[in-house]
Amino acid sequence: MSRSVKFRRPSPTGHYDHQRSDSGFSDSESRTSNADNDYDALGYEDAGIFSIRQALDSARKEAKQYRALYDESKANVESLRKEVNKYRTLYDESKADLESLRKEAESAKAHARALENELENKDNTIDTLTRTNKDLVEENKEHDEAIRLLQESLKEATDFVTQSTATVADADVTVRELTAVIQNMKSRKGSGGSSPSESSATAAESADEKKVRRSASKRRKDSAEKADREKEKEKERGRDRGPKEKERDRERRKEKERAAAQVAQEETERLRKRFNARDDEIDAKSNGTSKSLRARHDSTYVESLGPSLPRPSAQGAAPSPSRQYAQTAYAKTQTYPSYPAPSVRSGHPTVFVPGEYPSYNTAEDEDATYPHSRSTRHAR
C-alpha cells in the first residue's frame, strides 16, 4: 500500500515539507518505512539562527581576508627585512672597501714620499758625480800633457841613443880599417910588397873574421821572439780595428781557405788520373789477364739482401741447348691425394639447440612435397 501525499498547512519556516515524497520508493516495493519523513532543512527552521549563521559566515570570510592580508603584509615585511639586510651588507662591504682604499692611498702617499726622497738623493749623487767627472777630466788633460812631454823627451833620448850608436859604429869601423891598414903595412914590410887587390881582400877577410858571429840557437830564439812580437802587434792591431775591418780579414781568410781547398782538390784529381792511367798501362802490359779476372769477379759477385739472409751464390753457366737430357723416371705431379688436417675432437657430443618459436619447425623447414606445414607445436 503506497503512501499518499497530503496537503497540510505551511510550516513555520515557510517550506513545503508536507509536500515531500518518499524519495521514489514505495512501501510496497521497499517494504520499509520512509527515512525522510522527519526531514527538516537545517539552518532554515529559525530566522534568528539563520541571521546568526550568516553573520558568522561573513565574520569568517572577513577573518580569512584579514588573515590573508596579514600573511601578505608579513611576507612584505620579511622581504623588506631581507632587503634591509642586503643593503646593510652592501653598506658594510662598501665601508670595508673605503677603509682599504684609504689605507692604499696612505701607503701610496708614503711610497711617493719615499720615491721623492730617493730622487733627491739620486740628484745629489748625479751632481757629485758631475763635479768628480769635471775634476777627472782636468786631471786627464794634465796627464795627457805630461805624457806628451814624456814622449817628446823619449823621442829626443831615442834620437840621441841612435846617433850615439851610429857614432860608435863609425868609430868601430874606423878602428877596424886602421887596424887592417896597419896589418897590411906590416905584411907588406914582411913580404916585400904585394898587390893592392890582395891587400884589400885580406883586409875584408880580417874584418869579416872580427864580426860577431851568432849561434844557430841564438838565431832561432831571435826568430821566435820576432814572431811573438809580430803576433802581439797583430792582436793590438785587431783590437784597434773596427768590425768592418775584422769582417774583411775574415773574408780574406775564407778566400785563402777556399783557394787552398781548390788547389788540394785539383792535386787529388791529377793524382787520381795519373794512377788510373798507370793501372790501365799495367793491365795492358800483363796481357789483360788480371783485368779479365777482376771483371769476371765483379760480374759474378752478388750482394746479400741483409744481415739476416744468407749470401746468394753466383749462378753457373747455362747448359748448352744442343745437349739432350734423359727423361726422368718419376712423375712431376703428386701421386698421393691431399687430405685435410684432422680437426680437434670436442670433449662432449653435439647437442641440437632449437631456435626461437617463429623460426623453429615452420613452413620453410618442411618438405616441399607437403602443401601445408605440419606443425608439431600448438600455438600459444
Query: For the segment 52-75, what is each residue's pLDDT rounded down to a tens digit?
Result: 888 999 999 999 999 999 999 999
* pLDDT tens digits, one per residue of 265-282: 998 888 888 888 777 777
Q: Does the pLDDT value for residue 369 go beyond 70?
A: no
- Distance between CA atoms of 4 and 26, rounded to whole angstroms? 10
Backbone angles phi, psi at 320, to 5 degrees: -70, 135
Cell of 219: 838565431
pLDDT for the residue numbered 43:
44
Q: Does the pLDDT value for residue 14 go beyond 80?
A: no
Q: Which range, 48-52, 247-251, 301-305, is most confident?
A: 247-251
Q: Does the pLDDT value for residue 26 go beyond 50?
A: no
Task: Please provide the size of the chain in residues.
Answer: 380
- Distance between CA atoms of 171 and 177, rounded to whole angstroms? 10
Cα dihedral 80/84/87/91 (nearest 10): 170
pLDDT for the residue numbered 235:
75
Report domain extents, the chain. Answer: 43-166, 220-290
**C-alpha of 264 from chain center:** 44
Tell me the whole-structure pTM to 2 decimals: 0.24
Collapse the DSSP code of 311 into the 3-class scheme (helix H, G, I; strand E, B; otherwise coil) and give the result: coil
Q: Which range, 9-13, 187-191, 229-233, 315-319, is most confident?
A: 229-233
**C-alpha of 25 from chain center:** 103
* pLDDT tens digits, one per residue of 296-344: 555 555 555 555 555 555 565 665 656 555 655 655 665 556 666 766 6
CA distance readout (Å), 178 to 182, 195, 274, 345: 6, 19, 66, 136
Q: Does the pLDDT value for residue 105 go beyond 90?
A: yes
- Distance between CA atoms of 202 and 180, rounded to whole angstroms? 8
pLDDT for the residue numbered 69:
94
User: Do residues 190 and 202 lie in contact, with contact meaning Cβ atoms separated by under 8 Å?
Assistant: no
- Distance between CA atoms of 9 and 18, rounded to whole angstroms? 8
